[in-house]
Structure 1
């Protein structure tokens, strides 16, 4: 019975086994989770080292997530012409190049070179996500696409744990006069990414096409991608989700240290890793298996409603209650990105790669929310959390509409 379940998850209807490609693709989720986890440490570190306000420190996230907006369509076009494998290799090489760019940036003693390096890394991450997310959904039966993507994204959650943990240890734990503290975690991840790129170069991967591509192409019917209403709502929902997630992650350390002044930055980064990010990973793992008996849109409805309640408590500043609500929000956020992504690609057929690019563009929500939250919450960080509250309200609406469309 276990064998049957395994085959149904990573095997194609024609009997092909996609387990090895699935494992390789899943490793990418771990790597970019680590890169994103480091950002939350950089945000707080830049406030001190470069004397930035909370709004100005949002440039860390802006320089990263704006790359998703600028690169998503070119990444999709590259994948359409050259395939998923070459796109993944290009993304990994850009990722490594940006990571190693932290070394010359350390000599310039300015925030700008680091922000440029982060932009290069993000260009690579955008290409990887444009390839890996849809690739994961098609490495097996269509009915288990959301479940399979949530399983891959669980390892993304592991990367989010390791990012603030390693970053907090190497950056906050370094001596104050160590100008190369920022480079250490990036040299580490850059070296690993190069090794993974070599592995992909010498590994044969199947070029996947959706089952109904040929049927749609031969029919001669050309329908605008924007007439797929669920897809359009998914783009907006992904923008809102990334705005909420990035804002919460970015100012988690600020909120914790303001609510409990006895907590240091390095202690808050450990709470972020072992508390918030651990719940995030657990949520992804349990969410993937929960979808065996509950539809993705149903689960998304309940989780978004739970996060509306959590953010309401966070903005209310009720001491320990608000802190626990903040921690719990990580669990309920966990399944949102992959579930919105999978629901947005439902029935897109020949437009899957293009639709994937537009949904990845929604990640640009993370470029703007930290600066907005930092500006609103400069005096009181709790007020800034109204931004993710509004975002979760729209995600709830999206989930309910998916339920009505696909009961």
Structure 2
């Protein structure tokens, strides 16, 4: 009788746990439904197509190894085209129609930011894919985590630190976009320049500008020791080309935002001589395809042999899809078998993992939902990339408006 009572009690606990789990959207006793989205088509496909492929192959690997606390991950995939309207439509479909447990997606910051209000209203956990997403991360939202590639604040702070420390620059030319995206990286860049005692000469340009002569002439007139470019790829090509035409021979450092397709960048510039003194920011742990990342590229070849055989594949940002998937899995495991969104969100806020993919660890807290703040730098001659020793990590932190204090970026 004692055995029967114990067995009955255990069965009751399991039944209640299963019933509770099934009460959560997207959770059954055997599966966890995750909404995965990014640009699978359109002009910005390079920012997300292979990033999503990487996330998918990592989730599949986890499933083959037994899943998470006895459950397999089931993906529902949507195309957001890096467009705010399409992304919001995808998020609504995944939340309301597909009833996913959590969202994992977004490769373009502006599109991601536009979904913040809906995500908070629906109280659905949202783990970004590879978008910087500063506008959705600051001030912190209980439901949103991201910047697993790098935040835009970290982009700006890290680049200024690199220019001052490695390139010994006292005066720095800085070209960014004249929108919120550009404002995010400029905020940390200005903060870091002030801390280091360097002079920052800024030119903010429209993302659609077709003639960059005026801003480049102003930069040249200011006579900085180095030029930092934090724009998207198309303006980068125009700026590097114009710099060479104007006889610029000082270092140029290109932010990670503008390096989606370096081969195309060189073709757009039209002259390898323009890359004699160029550095590129990279947020991976190694040169793409280097020894530290070999396992990622080997996995890609196994999962997508036909794609891997095509020129241009895997795409530059492919490895970026693994860390956010790792974070999702890590938090699901930490949340335990009796899975709820609240437990998942709590686990996310206590995340600290070394992915082996990014330049620095992923660390999330209740006060900071931006995961990765480190960058490495590569010397790029138009064809070959050479690793510069050192990792440059931004230590800029968000402070409420009444308490604007911050700490500088540092080399680690």
Q: Which has the higher helix share?
A: 1
Larger Rg over CA atoms: 2
Higher-strand-fraction structure: 2
Task: Tell me the TM-score normalized by structure 2.
Answer: 0.27
Q: Whose relative contact order is higher, 1 or 2, with alpha carbons under 8 Å and at least 6 apart? A: 1
| TM-score (normalised: structure 1) | 0.28
